[in-house]
Amino acid sequence: MTYPNNPDGTNPPNDTSDKIIKSDSQWREILTPEQYYILRKAGTERPYTGAYNDHYEAGLYRCAGCGQVLFKSDTKYPSHCGWPAFYDVEQQGRIIRRTDRSAGMIRTEVLCRRCGGHLGHVFQDGPPPTGLRYCINSAALTFEPSGK
């Protein structure tokens, strides 16, 4: 389904009731330097270095900026791309997709809808059932083990 009120037609209309807005200095106070670089400056961690690249414990992956649940461990898979990969989001509407024309490529950037933090990118080379690969920076995530 496409949504005509959004520039690329891919996102549902935003409900801003829980939107988190902070100043640059406030983000710097609550995020580590690496988290700040990735979430607020659209940086990328080096491949195969992130804490969650080879992590397969059962639980939930949350946005490191605002704590919103983004992915479940049962959608994570070994993509061998160097970053954590998921084939689906926990709930539609929790991320924003937008065209990214940086680095001489055209990709689809993935951001947290709640705080606007850069998470990574989504590609159409993932496994069934979605065929998607959400390639996400470990530093953009926190992990909550099942049963907590």
Measure the CA angle with vertex 70, ends 67 and 75; round to 5°. Answer: 140
What pTM value is reported for the model?
Answer: 0.86
Active site residue 63: no
Digit-coded pLDDT (tens) for 93-133: 999 999 999 889 999 999 999 999 999 999 999 999 999 99
Question: Distance (Å, rounded) from C-alpha 83 to C-alpha 76?
Answer: 11
The CATH code that applies to domain 22-145 is 2.170.150.20
Digit-coded pLDDT (tens) for 52-74: 999 999 999 999 999 999 999 99
pLDDT of residue 10: 45
